């Protein structure tokens, strides 16, 4: 299943997205702390159902927004959340390769960039969309996320994505801050339902699924270890100016 399909089918996203809501609120605080000037042109990458917008729009009252997402169902739910606000436009957009004409004073994104195949190249493309003096502010899952679930696999292969290290994120040329958010689950079933509901159950490319017996073993280990899963969240903020990247 593709990322687009996973998020289009995540009907219970809001009910299970507590971490996403917390991270969006904290990113909004970071953006406001930048003291952005009035009249901003804001591009949001991966708006989802609108958590970041809900936390930030009223704090940037004169801004003009373009909310985008790669999943049509998510974008439709964001549109429903914000109703007929005249200062918001919407577009289906691949945030990794936006190819959008125009320039923006602020590009924001909350927990979308971890899905990118080439994060440095994507951020370089974002820089190309910034107006002089513009800012980028985004969050992404970082290395160490879901370490408990990985550990429960033992010698078996986990389908969890290989999230970027702090060093890799810093090499992009932005300021990086790391926060760890542990989430207590009732059990492994609850954990798996949660990641499926938020569209995060898509395995990394090339992963071979576990057999039912192997999965039961992993789930039992996860439960025995306390059924806690940590989200390691990187907040990355930086200014305008296109940067050459290598991959």
CATH number at residue 58: 3.40.50.150
Instruction: Establish if 195 belongs to a structural domain.
Output: no
Q: Which domain holds residue 64?
A: 3-142+162-181+231-239
Is 32 a domain residue? yes
Angle, vertex CA 203, rays to CA 197 and CA 209, nearest 5: 110
Q: What does the pLDDT average to over 136-155?
A: 95
- % of the chain residues with pLDDT over 90: 70
Residue 12 predicted with pLDDT over 60 = no
> What count of Cα atoms within 13 Å lies in the side-chain half-sphere of residue 40?
28
Our count of domains for the chain comes to 1
Which residue, among 83, 82, 90, 40, has the nearest Cα to 64 in the 3D structure?
40
* Residue 108 counted as domain residue: yes
Q: Are 177 and 26 in contact (CB under 8 A)?
A: no
Residue 181 to residue 158: CA distance in whole angstroms:
21
pLDDT band at 203 (very low <50, low <70, confident <90, very high): confident
The pLDDT assigned to 246 comes to 39
The answer to whether the CB of 148 falls within 8 A of the CB of 190 is: no
Q: Give Cα separations from 20 to 105, 110, 151, 208 (angstroms).
A: 24, 8, 23, 28
- Provide the pLDDT for residue 3: 53
In a domain, 211, yes or no: no
Question: How many Å apart are CA 53 and CA 65, to the nearest integer?
Answer: 9
What are the pLDDT digits (tens) for 85-107?
889 999 999 999 998 777 999 99
Per-residue pLDDT, averaged over 199-208, amounts to 72
pTM score: 0.88
User: Helices 212-224 and 188-197: crossing angle, nearest 10°?
Assistant: 110
* Section 115-121 average pLDDT: 91
More confident residue, 222 or 84: 222
Q: 11: pLDDT confidence band, cut at 50, 70 and 90? A: very low
Bridge partners of residue 184, in order along the sequence: 228
Domain membership flag for residue 189 = no
In a domain, 60, yes or no: yes
- Asked whether residue 100 is assigned to any structural domain, the reply reads yes
Q: How far is CA 8 from CA 45, 112, 138, 217, 221, in A?
A: 16, 14, 22, 30, 31
Q: What is the pLDDT of residue 199?
A: 58
């Amino acid at each position: 299943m593709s990322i687009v399909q996973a998020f289009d089918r995540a009907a219970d996203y809001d009910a299970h997205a507590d971490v996403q809501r917390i991270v969006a609120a904290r990113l909004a605080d970071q953006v406001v702390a930048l003291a952005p000037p009035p009249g901003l042109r804001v591009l949001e990458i991966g708006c989802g159902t609108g958590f970041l917008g809900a936390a930030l729009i009223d704090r940037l009252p004169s801004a003009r927004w373009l909310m985008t997402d790669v999943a049509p169902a998510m974008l439709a739910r964001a549109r429903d959340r914000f109703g007929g606000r005249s200062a918001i436009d919407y577009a289906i957009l691949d945030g990794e390769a936006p190819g959008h004409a125009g320039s923006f004073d602020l590009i924001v994104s909350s927990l979308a960039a971890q899905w990118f195949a080439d994060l440095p190249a994507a951020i370089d493309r974002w820089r190309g969309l910034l107006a002089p003096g513009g800012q980028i502010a985004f969050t992404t899952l970082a290395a160490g996320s879901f370490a408990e679930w990985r550990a429960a696999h033992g010698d078996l292969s986990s389908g969890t994505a290989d999230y970027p290290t702090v060093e890799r994120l810093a090499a992009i040329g932005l300021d990086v801050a790391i926060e760890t958010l542990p989430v207590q689950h009732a059990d492994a079933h609850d954990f798996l339902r949660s990641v499926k509901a938020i569209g995060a159950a898509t395995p990394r490319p090339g992963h071979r699924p576990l057999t039912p017996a192997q999965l039961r073993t992993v789930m039992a280990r996860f439960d025995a270890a306390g059924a806690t899963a940590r989200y390691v969240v990187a907040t990355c903020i930086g200014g305008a100016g296109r940067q050459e990247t290598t991959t």
